[in-house]
Chains A and B, each alone.
Chain A
Amino acid sequence: MSVSEPLPKLKDPGSQQPALLRNGRWSGFNHLLAARMTELWREPEVMFWVFVFPLLLALGLGVAFRDKPADVTPVAIVAGGEAQSALTMLEHSPEHSLIRAEIAERSAALKGFRLGKYDLVIEPTPAGEFHYLYDPARPESVLSHREVDDALQSAAGRKNPLTTSTTVSSEPGSRYIDFLIPGLIGMNVMNAAMWGIGFALVDMRQRKLLKRFVGTPMRRSDFLTALATSRIVLMFVEVVLLLGFGVFFFHMRVMGSWLAILLVGTFGALAFSGIGLLSASRAQKIETASGLMNLIMMPMWIFSGVFFSYERFPAVIQPFIKALPLTALNDALRATVLEGATLASQSGRLLVMAVWGVLSFLLALRVFRWT
């Protein structure tokens, strides 16, 4: 055992001791960052919440709000009289692709209508007219009534007095998924930074690991910056994953440069690292910190335009909404991703994030409890 080896007296640091190493200025920071990343990598739950969950959310919402082909309306024509000619007229009308008509006995047609099998029932009258049966409380029934009536009228030779034209808009860039993905990135940057930093700190405080660390010559600022840096590294991965996912699955178009997008994300990650640090700066229990963090994040989940535009809120609270760091992050992300805006044009929003980050970081340093 090395205990018994004749080593030079410790009281004499001038003597040569080959067993000693020499550490540079950044050795502590580098090891803290590496240790943090290693720990995260070995924590399966973290990997799930940070990487898999946002992708599942994007996939679910993207599929739910995808651009579907327009619905085909099922219609029943009561057998007898002019039924056959009504069917022929519908099949040859310009709207034929939207209407699926079939001839049915009167009782079967009414039963099918009641059960939702048909949106509309057409009954030819002995006088050669058509009588519609529809339910104004069912939107698809109302729609069907108008479509079928239009189809029959134009098939019968109606001329429109006014010429109109339409453009179909389902181009990438203006769909819901295009709005959603930058919002999800913003929310994920916030959640990951707040939980990641807050939980790690409270956990280390509970384990007395913070106390153990300050009993060494470790620089306290190195510790905190390493923690924030680990969030930025993770943020890069998250942004690339989520945006890449949007590009491959939903054919999103990324108009801005990826570098600009990552820089916007860095501002966001720093802002929320500061806020996470502040909210966990004194808490001794996970419950205390998580309650506080929920309280802080709640208004941003609601107001910052993650899932829908905050323009719907009253004008009075718009300045308040725009001062929230997540609003600034989401707006800046949408501007760079969807419109290709330059960083300079986003300087106001970047400033909002920087102010939040710097102020909360400085305040956290003052009130931080290491023991």
Chain B
Amino acid sequence: MTLAIQCRDLRKTYDGKVEAVRGLNLEIESGECFGLLGPNGAGKTTTIEILEGLLSPSSGQVTIVGKTWESDARELRESMGISLQETRLAEKLTVRETIDLFASFYREPRRSDDVLEELQLTEKADAWVGKLSGGQRQRLAVATALVGNPKVLFLDEPTTGLDPQSRRQLWDIVRGFQKRGGTVLLTTHYMEEAERLCDRLAIIDHGQVIAEGTPADLIARLGGHHVVEFAASGEQNGASTEIWKQLPGVKSVHKEDDGLVCLHVQEPHLTIPALLDSIVKRNSHLLHLSTRQASLEDVFVRLTGRHLRED
């Protein structure tokens, strides 16, 4: 496998003070869909904009399809398509005019009609950009990235603020691009998106990769595929999580701010009876009990002690 994107010890400091990225390493293989997952302010956008050549790193190396920004900027721009976190395209141009404009910058662009069709914008081809819905605008933004016939596609939070249907449409487009052999790097703070779309993920916090692997890998590393959540009377005021760790089958424990205790367990059928016994022995009673499959959100909470979207 050849590497499509590689960066080593990437650092970015703004104004000599704010360290947005602190020694980040990534290796993304050709044909992969790779996700950068992390909360707002984790350094995702800074990282992706350095890779896109829009920001220069304070230090570190970036190689994309075997080329570097210092020596092959023009070639790199020919071979990649980008969609920024937020671009408001000219409102008074039509969809087709916008795609044609972007196509004109590339040596060998795709035909605008093909791109319109692929992104289901054919019907809107002659509508002004200002009249499009949020989902259509986002598809147009991706269309301007795809019209240059890129090898690598960078998408910065492509589905933020979209309704579920528009989100799914975009996922299909990304999969289609990947199926044709393209490499995708996307950032997201939607767990579902990362789990469904990405082959591999890097979880980023405070400008560093804190975990990396396939979604299934990362969840497996929690130790348990199941989560048991409960609340018991008398447990709110800071009772030690150590008691729960000693229950059979419990791999790790996490306590929520609202008093809810989460146990990551391998075999719920062993853990739950023991948990109930223990609560009875402590003279308290259950206020809440539920079980579910572990998700990337649990991975994130486990790693950082915070939720992904604490807005």
Contacts and interface: CB of A to CB of B under 8 A. Distances in A.
Interface string A181-224: 00000000000000000000000000111011111111000000
B151 interface: yes
Interface stretch (A29-37, A234-242, A244-252): A29-37
A165 B78 CA distance: 80
Contact of A43 (B74, B92, B120): B92
A163 interface: no
Instruction: Choose among B53, B90, B110, B181 the residue with the greatest number of A CB atoms under 10 Å from its CB.
Output: B90
A43 B130 CA distance: 13
B248 interface: no
B223 interface: no
Interface string A1-23: 11110010111000000011111
Interface residues of A, number: 35
Q: Which of A27, A209, A215 has the most CB of B within 10 A?
A: A215
B77 interface: yes
B65 to A, nearest CB: 9
A93 interface: no
B195 interface: no
A371 interface: yes
A28 interface: yes
B223 to A, nearest CB: 39
Given A11-B151, A207-B88, A32 B108 contact: no
A10 B54 contact: no
B107 interface: yes
B97 to A, nearest CB: 6
Contact of A19 (B55, B82, B100, B114): B114
Contacts of B144: 212
A3 B179 contact: yes
Given A2-B114, A215-B54, A217-B78, A209 B89 contact: yes
A215 B53 CA distance: 7
Contacts of A39: 90, 92-93
Contacts of A211: 54, 84, 87
B126 interface: no
Contacts of B74: 217
B47 interface: no
Contacts of B30: 11
A19 B102 CA distance: 16
A28 B88 CA distance: 20
A10 B102 CA distance: 19
Contacts of A28: 104-105
Contacts of A38: 92-93, 97
A311 B78 CA distance: 57
B24 to A, nearest CB: 20
A305 B59 CA distance: 55
Contacts of B172: 3
A31 B103 CA distance: 9
Nearest to A371: B54
Given A10-B180, A19-B114, A218 B88 contact: no
Interface of B: 30, 52-55, 74, 77-78, 82, 84, 86-90, 92-93, 97, 100-111, 114, 117-118, 120, 128, 144, 148-149, 151, 172-173, 175-176, 179-182
**Shortest 5 CB-CB contacts between residues of A and residues of B:** A3-B176, A31-B104, A207-B88, A218-B105, A217-B77
Given A21-B103, A207-B88, A208-B84, 10 more contacts: A2-B117, A2-B118, A3-B173, A4-B176, A4-B179, A10-B181, A39-B92, A42-B128, A215-B54, A217-B78
9 contacts: A3-B176, A4-B176, A11-B151, A43-B92, A207-B87, A208-B86, A208-B87, A217-B105, A371-B54
Interface of A: 1-4, 7, 9-11, 19-23, 27-28, 30-32, 35, 38-39, 42-43, 207-209, 211-218, 371
